[in-house]
Amino acid sequence: MAHTYEKRQRQKVKQLIDEVHETNGDHSIAKYFPHYMDPETADNLHAELIKHHKDGLLKPEAWSFMGKSGHTKRTSTAFGVKDLTYTYSGRTITAMDWENSPVLKQLAKELGEKFSEIFNYVMVLRYPNGEAGIRWHSDDEGDMAEGSIIASISLGEARDFQLRAKDKKKRRKKIMTVALAHGSLLYMNQKLQTYYDHCVPIRKRIKKPRYNLTFRKMKMKNKK
């Protein structure tokens, strides 16, 4: 059973990556590492994130749209070079110093070595259940350093992650979906953000939380 599931996941991911390569010609790259973390390391990191949540470090994100406003079901926070900011969808998330989360600081170092990148910021998102998602978007904001890749780690309940070409003519098979597993790593290069959008769709049958960490390199001028 688990074997069949794994096989299906591998096929889906292969399809996702092949399609990204096939449709690009612009060197957009997504790579998925389903077992990046061994189960014990993943569980320990998950426990650490639950602790950050219980300590009240994650906050709901404000939104306003066409005269309406509210808060997302997701909560978020960030760690990194102290006071480095990231503004997206009209809200700014300011990093707490890495020293507030030594585990994330260490992971930033490891991932940085793996991908030859200097990650100075990690955004932490918590989806309390499948009622929370993130709409179609790309992470191509001006705050990100030129050429910065994103290393995305998922913990807790697996959630579907979708990719589609921004260019409607290139969408052909439309949407690529992969369920991001506990302890997995998704690598995205910056060109992927230029040519593709991604989202985490709402899945009402999912009742448990999921955490997502996106390690990024921000422009250093973005300090408060």
**Site residues for ligand AKG per CB under 6 A:** 123, 125, 134, 139, 152, 161, 180, 198, 200, 212, 214
- In this complex, which beta carbon is closest to ligand AKG, that of residue 139 or of residue 143? 139
Give the nearer residue to ligand AKG in terms of CB position, either 176 or 200. 200
Phi-psi map region of 44: left, alpha, beta (phi>0 left; psi -120 to 50 alpha): alpha
Distance CA 176, CA 68 (A): 32
Q: Residue 123 touches which of Mn ion, ligand AKG, none (CB < 5 to 8 A by kind)?
A: ligand AKG
Q: Which does 108 bind (CB under 5 to 8 A by kind): ligand AKG, Mn ion, none?
A: none
CB nearer to ligand AKG: pick between 169 and 179:
179
Contact (CB, 8 A) for 158 and 180: yes
Looking at the DSSP bridge assignments, the partners of residue 162 are: 177, 199
- Closer residue to ligand AKG (CB): 19 or 209: 209
* From 69-77, 132-140, 156-164, 173-181, span contacting Mn ion (CB under 5 A): 132-140
d(CA 38, CA 108): 17
- The least distance separating Mn ion from the CB of residue 201, rounded to whole angstroms, comes to 13
Residue 50 CB, nearest approach to ligand AKG (Å): 17
Q: Given the complex with Mn ion, which of 108 and 163 has the nearer CB atom?
A: 163
CB 73 within 8 A of CB 131: yes
Do the beta carbons of residue 107 and residue 80 sit within 8 Å?
no
Each as own residue / partner, the long-range contacts of residues 24-29 (CB below 8 Å, 24 or more positions apart, any chain) are 24/191, 24/195, 26/191, 26/194, 26/195, 27/189, 27/191, 28/189, 28/191, 28/192, 28/194, 28/195, 28/196, 29/187, 29/188, 29/189, 29/191, 29/192
Residue from 139, 143, 157, 197 binding Mn ion (CB under 5 A): 139
- The mark string for 73-112 relative to Mn ion (x by CB under 5 A, - otherwise) is ----------------------------------------
What are the residues binding Mn ion (CB under 5 A)?
Answer: 139
